[in-house]
Amino acid sequence: QVQLIESGGGLVQAGNSLTLGCAVSGLTFTTYAMGWFRQAPGKEREFVAVITWSGSSAYYRDSVKGRFTISRDNAKNTVYLQMNSLKPEDTAVYYCAADDGPGNIWSKSYAYWGQGTQVTVSS
């Protein structure tokens, strides 16, 4: 049984930082690219960041470049999203997802999803 379990969400003030984690089990972690997506109330789910299986390459949506960093620890089957300089517009439910391809921005490519963790940024 594949499980992706996010952690680390919460309520923070604008300008502060938060680190999300996603613990993965039930699949061969090192054969999957890992992505983070988010969904704000009333909006569609959107791509945030993706990292290749080796961790050698990452890609971000423009609005989080320079503020967010995706990383992975293949020994711990865990992917992280370090979020700095948070803004109220970053408020959303954040989801991690696993892609057995090279990883991309399209949610349909991801076979497995976590249940999400709420991030709320107050102004």
Mean pLDDT across the chain, nearest whole number?
97
* Average pLDDT over every residue of 95-113: 94
Interatomic CA distance for residues 32 and 78, integer angstroms: 11
The whole-number pLDDT of residue 13 equals 98
Tell me the two tokens of residue 83: 């979020």
Task: Read off the pLDDT band of 6 (50, 70, 90).
Answer: very high
CA distances (Å), origin 68, targets 35, 48, 75, 83, 105: 13, 9, 22, 4, 16
Task: Read off the pLDDT band of 105 (50, 70, 90).
Answer: very high
The whole-number pLDDT of residue 31 equals 96
Question: What residues contact 65, with CB distance under 8 A and at least 6 apart?
Answer: none
Tens digit of pLDDT for each residue in 42-83? 999 999 999 999 999 999 999 999 999 999 999 999 999 999
Task: Read off the pLDDT band of 97 (50, 70, 90).
Answer: very high
The whole-number pLDDT of residue 60 equals 98
Q: Residue 10, Cβ neighbours under 10 Å: how many?
A: 12
Q: Which of 121, 95, 100 is nearest to 6 (CA)?
A: 95
Q: For residues 45-64, b (16+ Cβ closer than 10 Å) or e, as one string?
A: bebbbbbbbebeebbbbeeb
* Average pLDDT over every residue of 72-101: 97
